[in-house]
Amino acid sequence: MKLLLAAATAALMALSIGSAFAADLAPLNSDTEKDRIDWSQLEAKFGAFPKLPDGTKAGAVSKTLTNEYWRSLGEGYKAFGDRVGVPVVYQAAQSEGDQLGQLTIAEGLVTQGYNVLLVSPQTDSNLQPIMEQAKAANVPVVNVNDAVIPQAEHYVGNVQRDNGVRVAKWFIKNRPNGGKVAIVEGQAGVYAAVQRTDGFKTTITEGGKFEVVASVPGNWDRQTSYDAATNILQQHPDLIGFYANNDGMALGIVEAVKAAGLQDKVAVFGTDGISDAYASIRAGELTGTVDSFPVLTGEVALETALRLVAGQKLPRVVATPQALITKDNADRYSGPDARKALLEDAAVGQ
């Protein structure tokens, strides 16, 4: 009950703060915001990395460290911070559902003298109460991937809808006869989950050959997704594929497919590009994932944040890369030349 009351209080605070910001800033849709730049163009458009004020330090709060994606994002923050001599304090909530805990961490960072704050919210509203506090303290806030604070002034991350679109296009190309597919969604109402799900569903049903027979919440949880997939397969033994909103859920689905003896018939895709997903793809179990390159995203996000500290006026959105990974191209995007491959993709507009 205390957690429910706290969540309700945070939501009310977010509404009041959102109205306070509304006169200055339109609600952010990070996928469609026109004031944007591709990550590969930062230096070309804004010059070499600028000189920073002495003693610059950055604070960052993430969803959780139990998910490899968010640990990798922190590695990116640290890597770029080490490169430019800026210390980064990286903290996270205990779980992906600990909204109040994440808010408490973020509020603490605002008061501790950091020059910039990077946040990856658990929901679109749970960290909005810190926005006014940070503005009053003259601390820029950069929203990094996943959930999107509507009044965020700056966002770094990939096009969430495109994650689902890319997987749908794989099915359309590789399963030309169509069939039944299912979606296992992330946390209900979170921007990334909504966009990924809609991108997949809208794209795959356009031609009329595919039917989405189930779209159920997995809440970013592997066991929950295993159970959901088991039920779906019992109801639809002729299913040809799953799309999951993250890799942890996708790996749970893979286990359910194997338990049902359907691994040769059911394709499974995830999202994020964690190392376990790559290992499963190479082992011929997980069909693929859409890698959003969290280490690189962390590096780009901190660079963006520090350019703001240096006084540069950047676009509202800095878009980071993503790529559909299967067994055929896993080595290209996971080796030491992965950054080179992504720059090549950016040059040809992939």
**Mean predicted confidence (pLDDT) in 237-261:** 98
SS3 breakdown of the chain: % helix, strand, coil, rounded to 5?
A: 45, 15, 35
How would you classify the pairing of strands 288-291 and 323-325? antiparallel
For the chain, how big is the Rg over CA atoms in Å? 20
Token pair recorded at residue 259? 């338990």
Are 206 and 216 within one domain? yes
| Domain region containing 285 | 160-291
Joined tokens for residue 15: 């509404």
| Separation of alpha carbons 35 and 30, rounded Å | 10
The last residue of a domain, from among 239, 271, 291:
291
Is the domain of 135 the same as that of 248? no
**For the chain, first and last CA: distance in Å?**
47
More confident residue, 1 or 254: 254
**For residue 254, is pLDDT > 60?**
yes
Q: Which amino acid is at 181?
A: V
- Regarding whether 311 and 261 lie in a shared domain, the answer is no
pLDDT tens digits for range 281-330: 999 999 999 999 999 999 999 999 999 999 999 999 999 999 999 999 99
What is the count of structural domains for the chain? 2
- What per-residue confidence (pLDDT) applies to 336? 84
Instruction: Specify whether 210 is located in the same domain as 315.
Output: no
CATH code of the domain covering residue 87: 3.40.50.2300
Q: Has this prediction a pTM greater than 0.75?
A: yes
Same domain, 154 and 164: no
pLDDT exceeds cutoff 90 at 22: no
Q: Could you tell me if 254 and 194 lie in one domain?
A: yes
Residue 152 CA to residue 201 CA, distance in Å, equals 28
Within this chain, do residues 154 and 204 fall inside the same structural domain, yes or no?
no
Mean pLDDT of the residues in the chain: 93
- Residues 107 and 202 grouped into a single domain: no
**Per the domain annotation, does 140 fall within a domain?**
yes
Output the CA–CA distances (angstroms, integers) from residue 198 to 49, 60, 81, 172, 339, in the order listed: 37, 29, 36, 16, 29
Supply the pLDDT for residue 18. Answer: 42
Burial of 227 (0-12, 13-18, 19+ CB in 10 A): middle
pLDDT for 350 equals 72
> 174 with 154, same domain?
no
